């Protein structure tokens, strides 16, 4: 697994401050983003309501761009008309 130096330094800092091993902190970080990956994969392009927003405290909100969602709806309507 390749980890950027900044991320490695941050993991090391968190591990030291919380008396944890770097491996435990790394697993926690990757589990966090594993959830985001799962939510994104579970979305169904034929069901625009399946695109969920994910909010990570102190990090941000991950959401589908409205323009992309609009294009998906338009493509679906065109395919239904055929």
Say whether both 36 and 48 belong to one domain.
Answer: no
Residues 6+ apart with CB under 8 A from 6: none
| pLDDT mean across residues, the chain | 84
| Pair 45, 74: CB distance under 8 Å | no
* More reliable by pLDDT, 13 or 80: 13
Domain span at 68: 43-82
Percent above pLDDT 90 for the chain:
22
State the pLDDT at residue 1.
Answer: 63
The pTM of this model reads: 0.55
Q: Which two tokens stand for residue 50?
A: 């399946």
In this prediction, residues 26-42 reach a mean pLDDT of 86
Q: Where are the beta strands (DSSP E) in 18-69?
A: 54-56, 60-62
In total, how many domains does the chain have?
Answer: 2
Is the per-residue pLDDT at 59 higher than 80?
no
Q: Let me know whether 52 and 73 are in one domain.
A: yes
Residues in Cβ contact with 46 at an 8 Å cutoff, skipping those fewer than 6 apart? 76
* Whether residue 70 sits in one domain with residue 58: yes
């Amino acid at each position: 697994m390749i980890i950027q130096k900044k991320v490695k330094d941050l993991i090391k800092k968190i591990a030291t401050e919380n008396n944890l091993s770097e491996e435990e902190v790394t697993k926690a970080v990757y589990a966090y983003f594993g959830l985001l990956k799962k939510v994104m994969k579970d979305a169904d392009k034929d069901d625009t309501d399946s695109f969920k927003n994910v909010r990570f405290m102190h990090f941000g909100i991950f959401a589908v761009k409205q323009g992309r969602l609009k294009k998906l709806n338009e493509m679906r309507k065109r395919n239904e008309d055929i």
